[in-house]
């Protein structure tokens, strides 16, 4: 290459670099000037981005805290390690066209270890003592609950004798000082209910601990505790006390080697993991909560990006005329996109910083809603800051490309075409593709709602959820058309009730159906989403209540302490005078494997254990095939009709399940029933569950009396029969006694609050942001109305009427969308709060941004020509009228009626239309428009 050629190349590159630098400077200049000129529009964007960053940061903090959560170490605080069985099951399946995948699920009941492992663990290097630890629920005579343990396990907490000695005989116990009745000393007697009727024990000693042990303890001899536990060949866990100077990692490796090859998963827990050995259900609850929060987080991120994108798009769309003019005077598309991106980046950066700071207290509030005693959520110092930074980073990075993409349509046009598009009237037709898609989604939503009415259980819930989602998206796509119908329906009463402002509001809404549709959509989204989310749980709960109430045949029920009723209580009730039938109710859970769209899935399902020959008068699941009398032994099951259809099984078929402790079984179906939503998908005989639950005790006993009315004599007889057991309560039976799902817990309520609050808050954010931008974009229209003589009161009333039209239409359509897939509604108070929030949001965000424009004096908007009458011109006749002005804005035409002019003289103001009549006192008077 010659020297001249190289010189030309370098010169060309330098020119390109100079041109690019100039383009960047021009973009930066445009961005700075536009930020000042459009500060009101960018204020709405700032609010949306800041709120999105705060909510995303709060969610990130809650999820991070949940990932770090561990059950508290209480009972094993004095142990160096805990050996426990694995609490998981695995299911592997090959999805369609993919590699095999394995899913896991935590087991709800404790999996026990072979007692022979105690000796193997004790022989491991570094182990000073290995202690078998079992726990059984006990209660004092006054009903105070406690945990029965063996005295050797006391050092695992640790407990220390403060008075007396260790128990030596089966009828001696050591009491926790926190549990002992006042005045108890060694040698005193105490009544305890452990297994069967209450029994008297001698207090051999009192013990205490300087830690929180969880449940207070009652210590028996090891032989007596093993007898009470009822599983002599297995233990709940093994507590390990290490020798002096043994490191935790060395102890862990030594124990793993000692208990390896035992035929099942054995875990060695040290440090904070020891809490999992105490509360076996905590990891499963944590995983369920984490999955739900992760799902909500994905929805939150999606909705946040949609809100930011819609807000930025609205802000950019309102500047179409300005962008077109800049194109006409020589600005390149790249310069305009860069300028808008810079503006959005600066606004989003500042807003993300504010939102990140606000995410810290908000995240701590969300975390406090989810924390429970069995699973406290830790908050390291760095976690709230990291959560806020994550939320801020997501929204800050998303803002600039979204803004540049929103401006792509107008900036890609040729200058003349851009000017024509910016000056053209607003189109009211949403477009053929959008209309067809919206109609198809509406039909799909209605079809799903119809399908939900013919289904039950989970199928109905999924169909209802799909229906609501389809209808909400359909409303968003068909917004202009729906707005046109709303104006036709509500426009006439608005015109009649509002006079001239009502006429202005109706005509303005009719001329801008696309704008009205954009305002309606977020209101519909708020109402429909929140109603569906709140009413869905209410619908399922009511349906479950109805089926449980229909299934209940018992008149009376016996309930006991949290640990359950002692063994033999159900048999004692059956022998009571006046009792026809009585069945104990044992609650547990099973794990079912299935495939969903080819993916492996494990479901944990609650089940009831019942006595088959006592069901006729106590529980009626409405059997459609088979016979519940065959529900006996350890290998039978009754299945709900929907679940039987899903599993393609029936009477005589086999259902494969994992019982609560991980035992795999194949159960023969002996009956199929309908009321599964109320009493569960599966019913098993008690004999099939007794050996596979942590505490084989009935939670309730359902009683059918001979009189069929549950009279006082039968209840008194039952109380007398249960007197030796103590702590039992006899009352009228209710649907909650047999309903498979207990009433919503505080944590479930918290999840509903978090989910609905976060996503509903985003929807409300979309409402206020969209309406604020719409109001800011109407400043020129409102100034024009002031220029032609509209009074401040008229514009205020016009805005209020438009707001009312948007709120009423949005509330009505949102309620209709929610009512299609659902058959229940939230409580009246919830509806009132929701309607108030959704109705007030448009009011505040339409009126306040428009306040400046409506209060601006007409003279400030620019010069306006005046109209005068010359002497002898005669009287003006006719009525005031309206015609559409530029871009559909209404413009007043003055009437020709001198009598009206003379009779309606008000305070004049500069810039108004003036008229003079030869009959008046030769001066200009004002024709006001607020009649």
Task: Judge residue 11's burial from the number of C-beta atoms within 10 Å of its C-beta, 0-12 exposed, 13-18 middle, 19 or more buried.
Answer: exposed
What mean pLDDT is predicted for residues 695-720?
A: 86
Q: What share of the chain is helix, strand, coil (3-state, %, to 5)?
A: 55, 20, 30
CA distances 171 to 49, 72, 162, 202, 227, Å, are 69, 32, 20, 6, 12
What mean pLDDT is predicted for residues 347-368?
A: 89
Per residue in 714-735, pLDDT (tens digit) is 889 999 998 888 778 899 999 8
% of residues, the chain, pLDDT over 90 = 27
Q: Which of 135, 140, 148, 136 is nearest to 192 (CA)?
A: 140
Per residue in 468-481, pLDDT (tens digit) is 777 777 877 777 77
Element holding 393 (H helix, E strand): helix 382-406
* d(C-alpha 924, C-alpha 174), whole Å: 105
CA distances 611 to 632, 641, 771, Å, are 8, 21, 62
Q: Is residue 9 scored above 70 in pLDDT? A: no
What does DSSP say about strands 682-685 and 599-610: parallel, antiparallel, or unpaired?
A: parallel
* d(C-alpha 455, C-alpha 2), whole Å: 82
Provide the CB-side half-sphere exposure for 831 (13 A, CA): 13
Answer for the pair 578, 717: CB distance below 8 angstroms, yes or no: yes
pLDDT score at 921: 29
- Greatest mean pLDDT among 288-302, 431-445, 537-551, 586-600 lies in 586-600
Per residue in 151-206, pLDDT (tens digit) is 999 999 989 999 999 999 999 999 999 888 888 999 999 999 887 788 899 999 99
* d(C-alpha 308, C-alpha 430), whole Å: 22
Answer for the pair 362, 377: CB distance below 8 angstroms, yes or no: no
Per residue in 556-576, pLDDT (tens digit) is 999 988 778 888 889 999 999
State the average pLDDT for the chain.
Answer: 77
* d(C-alpha 625, C-alpha 613), whole Å: 17
Q: Is residue 651 scored above 80 in pLDDT? A: yes
Q: Which residues of 111-140 are buried (b: 16+ CB within 10 A; e: fewer)?
A: bbbbbebbebbbebebbebbbbbbbbbbbb
Per residue in 672-688, pLDDT (tens digit) is 999 998 898 999 999 99
Q: Is residue 29 scored above 80 in pLDDT? A: no
Per residue in 511-545, pLDDT (tens digit) is 777 667 767 777 777 677 667 666 666 666 777 88
Answer for the pair 195, 178: CB distance below 8 angstroms, yes or no: no
Higher-pLDDT residue of 50 and 298 is 50
**pTM score, two decimals?**
0.72
What token pair was written down for 28? 């930066």
pLDDT score at 175: 94
102 - beta bridge partners?
Answer: 92
């Amino acid at each position: 290459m010659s020297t001249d050629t190289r010189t030309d190349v370098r010169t060309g590159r330098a020119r390109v670099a100079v041109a690019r630098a100039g383009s960047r400077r021009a973009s930066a200049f445009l961005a700075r000037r536009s930020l000042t000129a459009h500060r009101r529009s960018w204020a709405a964007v700032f609010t949306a981005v800041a709120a999105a960053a705060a909510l995303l940061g709060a969610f990130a903090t809650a999820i991070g805290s949940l990932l770090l959560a561990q059950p508290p170490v209480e009972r094993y605080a004095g142990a160096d390690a805990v050996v426990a069985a694995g609490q998981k099951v695995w299911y592997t399946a090959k999805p369609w066209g993919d590699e095999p995948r394995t899913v896991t699920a935590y087991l709800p009941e404790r999996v026990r270890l072979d007692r022979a492992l105690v000796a193997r663990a004790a022989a491991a290097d570094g182990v000073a003592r290995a202690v078998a630890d079992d726990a059984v629920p006990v209660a004092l005579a006054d009903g105070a609950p406690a945990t029965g343990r063996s005295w050797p396990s006391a050092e695992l907490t640790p407990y220390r004798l403060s008075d007396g000695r260790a128990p030596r005989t089966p009828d001696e116990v050591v009491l926790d000082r926190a549990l002992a009745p006042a005045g108890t000393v060694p040698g005193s007697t105490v009544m305890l209910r452990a297994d069967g009727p209450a029994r008297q024990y001698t207090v051999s000693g009192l013990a205490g601990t300087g830690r929180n042990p969880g449940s207070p303890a009652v210590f028996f001899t090891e032989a007596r505790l093993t007898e009470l536990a009822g599983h002599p060949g297995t233990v709940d866990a093994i507590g390990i006390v290490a020798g002096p100077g043994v490191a935790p990692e060395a102890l862990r490796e030594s124990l793993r080697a000692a208990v390896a090859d035992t035929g099942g998963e054995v875990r060695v827990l040290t440090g904070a993991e020891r809490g999992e050995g105490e509360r076996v259900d905590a990891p499963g609850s944590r995983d369920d909560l984490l999955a739900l929060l992760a799902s909500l987080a994905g929805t939150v991120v999606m909705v946040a990006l949609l809100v930011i994108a819609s807000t930025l798009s609205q802000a950019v769309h309102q500047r179409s005329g300005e962008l077109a003019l800049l194109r006409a005077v020589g600005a390149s598309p790249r310069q305009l996109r860069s300028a808008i991106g810079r503006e959005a980046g600066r606004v989003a950066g500042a807003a993300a910083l504010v939102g990140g700071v606000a995410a810290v207290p908000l995240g701590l509030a969300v975390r406090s809603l989810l924390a429970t005693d069995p699973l406290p959520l830790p908050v390291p110092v760095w976690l709230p800051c990291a959560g806020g930074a994550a939320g801020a980073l997501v929204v800050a990075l998303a803002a600039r490309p979204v803004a540049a993409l929103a401006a792509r349509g107008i900036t890609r046009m040729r200058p003349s075409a851009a000017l024509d598009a910016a000056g053209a009237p607003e189109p009211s037709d949403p477009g053929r593709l959008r209309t067809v898609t919206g109609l198809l989604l509406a039909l799909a939503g209605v079809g799903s709602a119809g399908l939900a009415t013919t289904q039950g259980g989970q199928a109905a819930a999924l169909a209802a959820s799909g229906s609501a989602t389809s209808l909400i998206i359909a409303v968003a796509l068909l917004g202009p058309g729906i707005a046109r119908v709303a104006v036709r329906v509500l426009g006439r009463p608005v015109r009649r009730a509002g006079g001239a402002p009502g006429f202005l509001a109706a005509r303005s809404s009719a001329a801008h159906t696309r704008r009205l549709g954009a305002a309606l959509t977020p209101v519909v989204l708020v109402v429909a989403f929140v109603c569906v989310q709140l009413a869905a749980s209410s619908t399922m709960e009511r349906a479950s209540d109805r089926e449980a109430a229909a299934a209940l045949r018992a008149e009376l029920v016996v309930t006991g302490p949290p640990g359950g009723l002692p063994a033999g209580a159900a048999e004692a009730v059956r022998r009571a005078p006046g009792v026809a039938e009585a069945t104990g109710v044992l609650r547990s859970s099973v794990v079912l494997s299935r495939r969903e769209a080819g993916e492996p899935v494990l479901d944990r399902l609650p089940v009831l254990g019942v006595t088959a020959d006592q069901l006729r008068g106590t529980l009626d699941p409405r059997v459609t095939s088979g016979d519940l009398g065959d529900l006996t032994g350890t290998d039978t099951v009754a299945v709900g009709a929907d679940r039987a259809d899903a599993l393609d099984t029936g009477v005589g078929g086999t259902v494969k399940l994992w019982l609560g402790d991980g035992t795999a079984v194949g159960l023969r179906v002996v009956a199929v029933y309908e009321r599964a939503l109320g009493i569960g998908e599966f019913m098993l005989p008690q004999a099939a569950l007794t050996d596979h639950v942590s505490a084989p005790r009935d939670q309730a006993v359902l009683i059918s009396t001979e009189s069929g009315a549950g009279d006082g004599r039968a209840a008194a007889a039952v109380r007398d029969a249960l007197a030796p057991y103590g702590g039992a309560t006899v009352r009228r039976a209710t649907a909650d006694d047999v309903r498979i799902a207990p009433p919503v817990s505080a944590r479930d309520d918290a999840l509903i609050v978090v989910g609905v609050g976060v996503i509903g808050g985003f929807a409300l954010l979309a409402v206020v942001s969209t309406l604020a931008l719409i109001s800011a974009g109407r400043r020129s229209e409102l100034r024009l109305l002031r220029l032609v003589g509209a009074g401040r009161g008229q514009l205020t009333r016009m805005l209020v009427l438009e707001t009312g039209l948007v709120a009423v239409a949005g509330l009505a359509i949102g309620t209709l969308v929610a009512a299609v897939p659902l058959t229940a509604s939230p409580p009246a108070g919830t509806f009132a709060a929701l309607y108030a929030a959704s109705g007030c949001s448009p009011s505040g965000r339409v009126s306040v941004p428009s306040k400046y424009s409506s209060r601006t004096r007409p003279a400030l908007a620019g010069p306006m020509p005046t109209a005068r009458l010359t002497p002898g011109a005669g009287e003006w006749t006719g009525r005031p009228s309206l015609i559409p002005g530029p871009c559909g804005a209404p413009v007043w035409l003055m009437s020709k009626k001198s009598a009206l002019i003379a009779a309606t003289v008000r305070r004049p103001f500069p810039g108004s239309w003036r008229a003079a009549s030869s009959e008046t006192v030769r001066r200009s008077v004002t024709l006001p428009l607020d009649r």
